[in-house]
Structure 1
Amino acid sequence: MNGNLNIVDTQVHIGPGGIAETLAAMDALGIQTVVIDEYWLKDFFAYYPHHILENGVARPVCPTAELASQMYPDRFSWVLRVNYKDPDYQNIIKMVKHSPHGKAIRIIPGMNPKDVQAFANDEYDHILRTVTDHQLPLYLYLPDQPDLIAKCAKKYPELQIIIDHCGLYNNAMRQGLRNGTILTPNQQLEMFDRILQLSIHPNVYLKWAHYSSMFEIPAFPGEELWPLLRSAIKHYGADRIIWASDFSVNQSDENWGELLYSLKSNFDLKKEELAAILGANARKILNL
C-alpha cells in the first residue's frame, strides 16, 4: 500500500461497532494498521466502555478493539487504559502483555487536575513499575507537564514513554481543566520547546497528533506546521516520532484523509523520514 509506506495510525477511537466502516476507510486511504484506544463518545468524561468495581473504581475494557483484532489481525491492534486505582492492575497489565494484539498501556492523568497531582505525588508509580516490568510501551497523556515527564523518564529509564498529542493542551482544554489558564501562541511554542527538550531522555518518544489543534494551524495543507515537525525531528530524530490522527475526536474538524495528507504532502520530509513517522517507528516500538 502507498508504495514503500506501511502506514500505521497509532491512535483511533472506535466502538461500539464501527469496525467495517473503519476498515473501509483504511483501505480507501491506504492505511495498513490502526491501533485502537477504545473510547465511546457517549459521555466525554465517563470513559466508556468500563466496568464499575465494588469499590466504585471504573475499569476500562475494549470489546470492540479485541473483536476487530480477532477478525482482522493484520489490520488492528489495541492499547488499554488502566485506572491507577484498580486493585487488580497487575493482572490487567499482564493480560495486555500476553494478548497478541495488546500493544501498550495508556494512562491519562492529564484529563483531571487531581490525577495530575496524584501523578506528581507518585501515586501512579505502581502502574509505571508494572508496565516497565512487562516491557510494554506507555502512552502518557500528561500535557503541559514536562517536568513530571522528565521525572518519570529518569525514574524508569527502561520504560518506553510515548508522549501523547505533542505534549500539549490547547487553550480550550486549558480553560476547562486548568481554571481558565491560556497561553499566547508564543507561549505555546515555548511550552512545546520544553517538550522537545525531553528528547535528552532516550526512552521518551513523541506522538505527533492533534498538532492542528495545539498550534491552531490547519493540518492541511499545513505548510505552517512543517517547521514545527522539523524541529521535533531535530530534537528526537525521525526514529522517535510516531503519527496518530485521533480523527474520531479531532478538535479542528479535519477529516482522516486531511490529517494523513498533512504528512504525506509535507515536501520538507525526506522519504525515509516520512516512512519512519508514518509507520516504521510504530511497528518497532509497538511490536506490530
Structure 2
Amino acid sequence: MAGTVSDIEIVDAQIHFGPGGISEIIAAMDALGIAAVLADEFWGLDTWGPGYMLTNGAYRVTSPTAELAGWLHPDRFAYVLRIDRNDPEFASLIRMVKTAPHARAMRILPGLTATELDAFADGAYDPMFAIAQQERLPCFVYIPGRADLIPRYLEKFPDLTFVVDHCGMPIEAGIGFLDADRPEGRDNHPGPDVSYFTQVLKLAEWPNVILKWSHAQGMFGTPEYPFAPLWPQLRRAVEAFGAYRIMWASDHGGNQTGESWAELLFCLRDCPDFTVEEKSWLLGKTLRTVLGWHAAMEQE
C-alpha cells in the first residue's frame, strides 16, 4: 500500500508515439514521474499506421518504435497491438502478441466505422475473442457510446478481460474522422452526453470488464484544469467497479482536446477526493495487475 502520493508508481495505460522519439518520451516521463507507459504506436490519421494494407482490404498494424523502445527500456515500455478482425492471420497475430516479450494486449476499434459497429453488434468478433480467451490475452475495446453492445461478449467470453477505452463514453465534440453513429447530415459529432455514463457503469456487473479512465475531459465536456466536475463521475465509477478495475491513461500523442501530459496526470494525482490507495490502483496498479506486467523490482 502506498503511504503518500509521492510513493505511487505511475504507469500510463495509453500513449501514442513514433516514428522514433523514444528519448524524448523518456525525458518527459522522467520529468513527470511516470515509471512506465503502455504504447499504441500510431503515426497519424492518414494511414492509421504504421502498417500495411492486405489484398483483402484488411490493415495490418506494426509497432517498430514501440518494439524497439521495449527492447531498449523493458522496464519503461510495453505496447498493445491493434488487430483487424478481417486479417486472415488474426489468430497468429494474437498468439504473437501473447508470446512477444514487450507486447501485453490486443486492441480493437469497432467504434471507428458504422460497418464495424454493425459487425460488432452481429457477433462478428467472436472468432477473435475465442482465440484471445484461449491465450488469456486482455483486449482493449474502443466502442464509444455503445456500452449496450458489450455484455453479449462479456457473457460469452467470461475468462477474457475486456478493457473499455476512453470511459466508454460518446466521443468529444467536433471529431470528424469517425463515421460510426454520426448524426445524419453532420460533419462531426455533437459532443458530450454526461447522462450516458449511467449506461457505462452498468458494465461493472461483469467481473471481466475494466474501465479505462481516459479522454474524460472531452467526454464529459470539462475543459478547465483541474477539471473539478470530473471527480464526482470518477467517484461513481470507483463505487461501481472498484479502483482495482479502473486504469488511468493520458492518451498522450492522441489527445484531441489540448491538455498537456502534466495536466492529465496531476489533475488526478493531486485530487483530494480520492485516497492514496485508490490513486495507487488508478494510476498504475490496475494496469500492472490486468496485464501481468510487473515492475522491475518485482521481477528480480
TM-score (norm 2): 0.90
The alignment status of 1:20 with 2:23, answered yes or no, reads yes
- Judged with a 3 Å threshold, the aligned counterparts in structure 2 of structure 1 residues 143 and 45 are, in CA distance, closer, same or farther, namely farther
Find the aligned partners of 2:36 and 2:5 in 1 and give their Cα distance: 13
Do 2:138 and 2:290's aligned partners in 1 also have CA atoms closer than 8 Å? Answer: yes
Aligned match of 2:7 in 4, 7, 13? 4
Q: In the alignment, is residue 59 of structure 1 matched against residue 64 of structure 2? A: no
Q: How much has 1:46 moved relative to structure 2?
A: 2.5
Q: For 1:237-277, what per-residue CA distance to the aligned partner results, in whole angstroms no more than 9, with x for missing partners?
A: 11100010002121211110000011112100101000110
Give the alignment partner of residue 267 of structure 1, picking from 260, 272, 276: 272
Match of 2:183 among 169, 180, 185: 180
**Aligned counterparts of 1:174 and 1:54: Cα–Cα separation in 2:** 27
Q: Using the alignment, how far apart are the partners of 1:87 and 1:221 within structure 2?
A: 46
Listed one character per residue, the Cα deviations across residues 89-118 of structure 1 (whole Å, up to 9, x for unaligned) are: 111111110011110000001011110001
1:7-156 matches, within 5 Å, as 7-41=10-44, 44=45, 46-156=47-157
Distance 1:117 1:220, change over 3 A: same
Corresponding residue for residue 298 of structure 2: none
The whole-number CA distance in structure 1 between the counterparts of 2:210 and 2:131 is 19
Aligned residue in 1 for 2:164? 163
Gap change, CA 1:219 and 1:7, over 3 Å in 2? farther
**Given residue 75 of structure 1, which amino acid in structure 2 is its aligned partner?**
R
CA distance in 1 between counterparts of 2:34 and 2:204 reads 28
Q: Distance in 1 between matches of 2:109 and 2:177?
A: 18
Which one is further off, 211-220 or 69-78?
211-220
Q: Hey, what does 2:251 align to over in structure 1?
A: 246
Quick check: 1:211–1:219 contact (8 Å CA) kept in 2?
Answer: no
8 Å CA contact retained: 2:105, 2:140: yes
Give the deviation of 1:136 after TM superposition.
0.8
Q: Which amino acid is 2:15 matched to?
A: V
2:214 equivalent to 1:213: no
1:195 aligns with 2:174: no
In the alignment, is the contact (CA less than 8 A) between 1:2 and 1:30 conserved in 2?
no
Unaligned 5+ runs, structure 2: 294-300
| Cα distance in 1 between the residues matched to 2:55 and 2:177 | 34
Secondary structure of the structure 2 residue equivalent to 1:105: strand
Q: Do the aligned partners of residues 38 and 184 (structure 1) sit closer, same or farther apart at CA in structure 2, a change above 3 Å counting?
A: closer
- 1:128-148 CA distance string (max 9 Å, x none): 111111001110001111111
Q: Is the 8 A contact 2:5 2:269 kept in 1?
A: no
Given candidates 242, 247, 257, the residue that maps to 1:237 is 242
Cα distance in 1, alignment partners of residues 240 and 176 from structure 2:
26
Whether the 8 Å CA contact 2:132–2:160 is kept in 1: the answer is yes
Residues matched between the structures, number: 284
| Shift in alpha-carbon separation, 1:60–1:224, aligned structure 2, 3 A | same
Q: Which residue of 2 aligns with 1:256?
A: 261
What do you get for the CA RMSD once the two structures are aligned? 1.8
Listed one character per residue, the Cα deviations across residues 185-217 of structure 1 (whole Å, up to 9, x for unaligned) are 6xx222111001110000011000000000110
> Displacement, 1:150?
1.2
List alignment gaps of at least 5 residues for structure 1. none
CA separation in 2, counterparts of 1:5 and 1:184?
33
Does the CA-based 8 Å contact 1:65-1:77 persist in structure 2? yes
Shift of 1:125: 1.1
Distance (whole Å) between structure 2 residues aligned to residue 234 and residue 116 of structure 1: 29
What TM-score do the two structures reach when normalised by structure 1? 0.94
